[in-house]
């Protein structure tokens, strides 16, 4: 009985030493503005913003602010992560389901909402990348606009070129080293714990 208690204590200590799989802000381009301007991310328009990762990371979620017509709910948007604006090496490109929250009406009569989308983890080394948003979908078919906040990111729109950057956050888990690594999944941790016991995520290009 005493031996079993000691083994259980050892398992608990070993599991406690494993880093928690916390969701972190890997890059934040600044707060939502809602009063300056916004750029269309559907009807063929694409907006691309740069972001930096300070270490090897697994990106699995994005947040951004959108201007939508009152009553519209953003359902999905095509998110791509690339080495250059609008392209280069494509690390991720997928239509991502969106959860829309915290809406309020801005001074131009649009609903300004927080939009969150999660997806399977994308492993990226430390460096500079671009997030591209396009093909946003709302049931009414209305335009959807990405909020401009003039943060530190570089930004471009596919029909007019360079623009001020937009409000967004890249989320995921960061490695403690600068080399690419795979973040432990919950299943892996469970297997690790089991082994110990056994042995012992109107059409306009912008608003004027």
pLDDT, position 24 = 94
- What's the rounded mean pLDDT across residues 125-132? 98
Residue 102: both structure tokens together = 């915290």
Contact criterion met (CB below 8 Å) for 81 and 131: yes
**What is the pLDDT at residue 178?**
40
Q: Is the pLDDT of residue 201 over 70?
A: no
Residue 205 and residue 157 in contact, taking contact as beta carbons nearer than 8 Å: yes
Q: What is the pTM of this model?
A: 0.78
- Percent of the chain with pLDDT strictly greater than 90: 73
Q: Is 71 left (phi over 0), alpha (psi -120 to 50) or beta?
A: left
Mean pLDDT for 94-108 is 97
Query: From 3.40.50, 2.40.50, 2.60.120, 1.25.10, which CATH number describes the 21-182 domain?
Result: 2.60.120
Lowest mean pLDDT across 79-83, 128-132, 172-176: 172-176
Res 3: pLDDT: 37
Query: Cα(24)–Cα(62) distance, rounded to whole angstroms?
Result: 11
> CA-to-CA distance for 74 and 136, rounded, in angstroms?
7
DSSP structural state of residue 166: B
CA–centroid distance for 187 within its chain: 23
Distance, in Å, from the CA atom of 180 to the CA atom of 56, rounded to the nearest integer, reads: 5
Average pLDDT over residues 157-186: 76
For the chain, the domains span: 1-18+184-200, 21-182
When pLDDT is averaged across residues 2-16 and rounded to a whole number, the result is 39
Q: What is the pLDDT of residues 143-156, one digit of tens each?
A: 999 999 999 999 99
Across 9-25, average pLDDT: 50
Residue 194 has pLDDT above 70, yes or no: no
- pLDDT mean over 86-98: 98
């Amino acid at each position: 009985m005493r031996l079993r208690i000691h083994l259980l204590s050892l398992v608990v200590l070993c599991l406690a030493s494993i880093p928690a799989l916390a969701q972190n802000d890997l890059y934040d381009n600044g707060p939502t503005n809602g009063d300056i301007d916004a750029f269309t991310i559907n009807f063929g328009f694409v907006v691309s913003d740069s972001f930096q990762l300070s270490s090897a990371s697994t990106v699995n979620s994005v947040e951004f602010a959108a201007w939508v017509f009152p009553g519209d709910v953003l359902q999905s948007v095509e998110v791509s992560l690339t080495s250059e604006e609008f392209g280069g090496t494509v690390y991720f490109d997928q239509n991502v389901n969106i959860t829309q929250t915290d809406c309020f009406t801005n001074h131009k009569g649009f609903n300004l909402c927080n939009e969150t989308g999660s997806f399977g983890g994308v492993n990226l080394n430390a460096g500079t990348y671009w997030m591209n948003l396009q093909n946003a979908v709302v049931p009414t078919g209305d335009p959807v606009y990405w909020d401009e906040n003039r943060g530190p990111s570089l930004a471009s729109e596919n029909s007019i070129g360079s623009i001020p950057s937009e409000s967004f956050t890249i989320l995921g888990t960061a490695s403690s080293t600068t080399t690419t690594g795979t973040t432990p999944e919950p299943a892996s941790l469970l297997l690790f714990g089991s082994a110990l016991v056994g042995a012992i995520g109107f059409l306009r290009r912008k608003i004027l």
